[in-house]
Chains A and B, each alone.
Chain A
Amino acid sequence: MLRFFILVLLSITSAYAAIDTYEFKDKDKELRFHELSADMRCPKCQNQNLADSNAAIATDLKQKIYLMLEADKSDTEIVDYMVARYGDFVLYEPRFNAQNAVLWLGPGALLLLGLIVVIWLTRSRNNKNAENTEQVPELDAKQEKALQQLLNKDKKS
């Protein structure tokens, strides 16, 4: 079976999409190829991933990825290979390490902090008001239900 792989080698920097016609027998590998080339950065371009770049180095790296995939290398091996040569710069998904902890955990921590602050603020505001108003007698279950029905009947937004 003829297996062609065609390298689209572009020598002029121009603004158009790189269309590389790599053929994979394995659908899974083709998917991994698309993902890997989308998640890795072209070292030379102005913020483009390998998939969209037509720079010579991007084409070379895509070819390398293709060859490594055909040689049954794992995603981790391919990524490590690229990082060993071009540094963490080439990864669009920053590694989860001590240096990037703030990056990955910051938003979640901030969200929690924000929610806690809001709840605490509303609570303290509520408590302040509770101090100022007289004790409201508690309703029993039957009265509560009646109240709810009344409220729901003429609901105004």
Chain B
Amino acid sequence: MIPELGEFALILALGFSFILAVIPLYGAATLNTLWMDYAKPLARAQFTFLLISFICLGYAFANDDFSVQYVANHSNSQLPIEFKLSAIWGGHEGSLLLWAFILSGWTLAVSLFSRGLPLDMLARVLGVMGIIATGFISFLLWTSSPFERYLPRFPADGADLNPLLQDFGLIVHPPMLYMGYVGFSVAFAFAIAALLSGRLDAAWARWSRPWTNVAWAFLGAGITLGSWWAYYELGWGGWWFWDPVENASLMPWLVGTALIHSLAVTEKRGVFKSWTLLLAIFAFSLSLLGTFLVRSGVLTSVHAFASDPERGFFILVLLLLTIGGSLTLYAFKAPNVKSESSFGWLSREMLLLINNVFLVVMAITVLLGTLYPLLIDALGSGKISVGPPYFNALFVPIMSLLALSMGISGAARWRQTSVAGLKEQLLIPVIISLVVGIIFPFIYGDGFNFRVFLGMTVSTWVIATTAKEFKDKFRNANSITAKLSQLTPSYYGMMLAHVGVAVVAIGITLVSTYSEERDMRMAPGDKIELADYQFEFKGAKKVKGANFTADEGTIEVTLEGEPVVTLYPQKRHYTVKRSMMTEASIDAGLFRDLYLAMGEPLGDDGAWAIRVHYKPYVRWLWLGGLFMALGGILTVFDKRYRKKSTGEVAHA
């Protein structure tokens, strides 16, 4: 009964989204206030029924209803409850329901937090989000309903969730990621609404910014969580593989970064409007493209959902309508956009535009590399692979240029700045950065290393220039505390995010250069040494978990005779799926991780194949990601976004 209710709720939600897609937009076009007023309640209704649908699916999982195909395929009676519920988004159909649910959540949020927004603008924004929702709910009902049943005969127990997914990571990573992907639809909707209404003044940018920043923060957090999860879960100590699905999340984030900066300029200076509109469309288009890539089966990936060309075709049609439609609208309406001010050739505006170019080229590079094998195959020229060597070779130089440019932009003034002024401002940061870059590999490593020099110089540069800009704010201040509270959350957020970039860069540089790894055969009592640490294997024993049995090894780690930690890596055998999984044991630290994994048992003397990793500064990667996400969230608390409406009726 409950699954059918869920399906029915989905159908009702479709009805409401369809009406939301049509009536308010028509009302905005004809200035019909009544029809525009329908937008808010329709958003509420859409949300309510998607919530009901989502809860129904959760109920089916919680009650082990294996007559529902999706539940039978992804769950099991032995599965711990937190994973039963997370399994809702463990497969294609359920994750799509999550997507639609989160979309309705953002739509509701926009309807609730838009007091200063003129009615026609709100109607258009919600209407566009309704169009997207209609597309996705149709997709769900037509090809991917999670409520399909196995009747009359259904399995007594489920096929269990993939052991790799039975982890905390599943609980947090997809929802965060989807909050980001879907959140860009708000920026998209604002852009489309602006194009439709012809009202392309900078106010649109001010309304758009908090939504975009939050979406960007969530997406960044989702990517960071994904990298962290892959690191400790997959057992080989990697944190980024340039896999198509990983790239699908990075591309909208890169364009999103360009977008948040472009929006800032458009709001403050009234320029770049046409470019910002295009970026908003581009960012969400990449979200949709990501959805296509992950679910259609055109690309191979360990992370991809079970794919189906029929579903792929449906998503492609959705893409054509949404992206094609928006780009057509853009081509026709964008010429009406006029700049409100001008700027000199060396100015903060120009430098931010340069940064945009870097970010967009980075995104296109990732897109090119991800799709190139498909292009070559579609042209009949055979199969090739594009992997980490390509992406690292191209991405790193451009990212370094971007980091350099970041520092200069911070020192530049709006409208016009002089080379002499810049030189004077940036001299000290240049010196500090070069000094750190040159000295660091000698102190930390064993001699000069160009990669470390580049990475450390560029990271220090970002931090030093940010610090200098911050210090300069106090030049004319009478009191430090007064000035501190005068600085806006936006500013603090920006600083935090920029420092986050530097922290990530440091992490990447150091972990890729100074990591050490050894795979060894170890019998009980054997010792090996890695990076000044001694590892002694004490043997393995059998242990039992909720739905698995495991061989658990014990390894004692010492540093110069002093015990550091004892690690317990496991080799798990999941009883239902009959598959094996490595559960690595990690001693996490801010400045280094010790990472141990067990391979296969070798021989009768209790020996095992053991992998030992020394990973310096790997946590900085995720710390930096966290900084960036927090920085993004911080900007939303700016007072100017929370200005109460003055009570005047917003004119249509």
Which residues of A approach B to under 8 Å, CB–CB? 4, 6, 8, 10, 12-22, 34, 38-39, 41, 45-49, 51-52, 87-94, 99-100, 102-104, 106-108, 110-111, 114-115, 118-119, 122-123, 125-126, 128-129, 148, 151-152, 154-157
Contacts and interface: CB of A to CB of B under 8 A. Distances in A.
Contacts of B361: 107, 110-111, 114
B357 A17 contact: no
A94 B382 contact: no
Contact of B163 (A15, A49, A102, A154): A15
A50 B475 CA distance: 57
5 contacts: A21-B519, A88-B383, A92-B390, A106-B364, A154-B476
A148 B421 contact: yes
A107 B220 CA distance: 24
Contact of B389 (A46, A92, A152): A92
B342 interface: yes
A156 B579 CA distance: 63
A47 B421 contact: no
Contacts, number: 174
Given A8-B602, A16-B582, A92-B388, 19 more contacts: A8-B609, A14-B580, A15-B162, A15-B579, A15-B581, A19-B597, A19-B598, A41-B385, A49-B387, A51-B236, A100-B372, A106-B364, A106-B368, A107-B398, A111-B358, A111-B398, A114-B357, A115-B354, A119-B345
The 7 closest A-B pairs by CB, nearest first: A92-B387, A19-B599, A93-B389, A17-B235, A114-B357, A16-B582, A14-B580
Nearest to B245: A47
Interface string B370-388: 0010001000011111111
B324 interface: no
A48 B235 CA distance: 13
A125 B599 contact: no
B235 A148 contact: no
B369 interface: yes
Contacts of B394: 104, 107-108
A51 B252 CA distance: 30
B407 to A, nearest CB: 15
B469 A157 contact: yes
B445 interface: no
A21 B357 contact: no
Contacts of B357: 111, 114-115, 118
A129 B387 contact: no
B482 interface: no
A107 B424 CA distance: 33
A4 B602 CA distance: 12
Nearest to A109: B361
Given A20-B609, A89-B383, A122 B350 contact: yes
B451 interface: no
A13 B376 CA distance: 30
B244 interface: yes
A21 B385 contact: no
Contact of A87 (B364, B383, B579, B609): B383
Given A8-B600, A16-B582, A47 B244 contact: yes
Nearest to A49: B387
A19 B610 contact: yes
B236 A52 contact: yes
B310 to A, nearest CB: 21
B300 interface: yes
Contact of A16 (B235, B382, B476): B235
B266 to A, nearest CB: 15
A133 to B, nearest CB: 10
Contacts of A118: 350, 353-354, 357
Contacts of A94: 372, 384-386, 390
B447 interface: no
A20 B519 contact: yes
Nearest to B372: A103
Given A6-B609, A157-B413, A152 B302 contact: no
B236 A17 contact: yes
Nearest to A8: B600
Interface in B303-349: 304, 342-345
Interface string B229-261: 000001110100101100000000000000000
A46 B301 contact: yes
B368 A107 contact: yes
A92 B386 contact: yes
Contacts of B368: 102-103, 106-107
B580 to A, nearest CB: 4
B451 to A, nearest CB: 15
B82 to A, nearest CB: 20
B609 A14 contact: no
Contact of B599 (A17, A102, A107, A155): A17
Nearest to B610: A19
B350 to A, nearest CB: 5
A45 B447 CA distance: 39
A118 to B, nearest CB: 5
Nearest to A147: B418
B436 interface: no
B520 interface: yes
B360 A114 contact: yes
Given A16-B580, A103-B369, A107-B361, A93 B390 contact: yes
A14 B424 contact: no
A21 B521 contact: yes
A4 B521 CA distance: 10
Nearest to B392: A93
A46 B164 CA distance: 15
Nearest to B414: A157
A17 B243 contact: no
Contacts of A14: 579-581
A106 B363 CA distance: 12
A57 B536 CA distance: 32
Interface string B555-595: 00000000000000001000000111110000000000000
A140 to B, nearest CB: 15
B579 A122 contact: no
Nearest to A38: B388
Contacts of B529: none
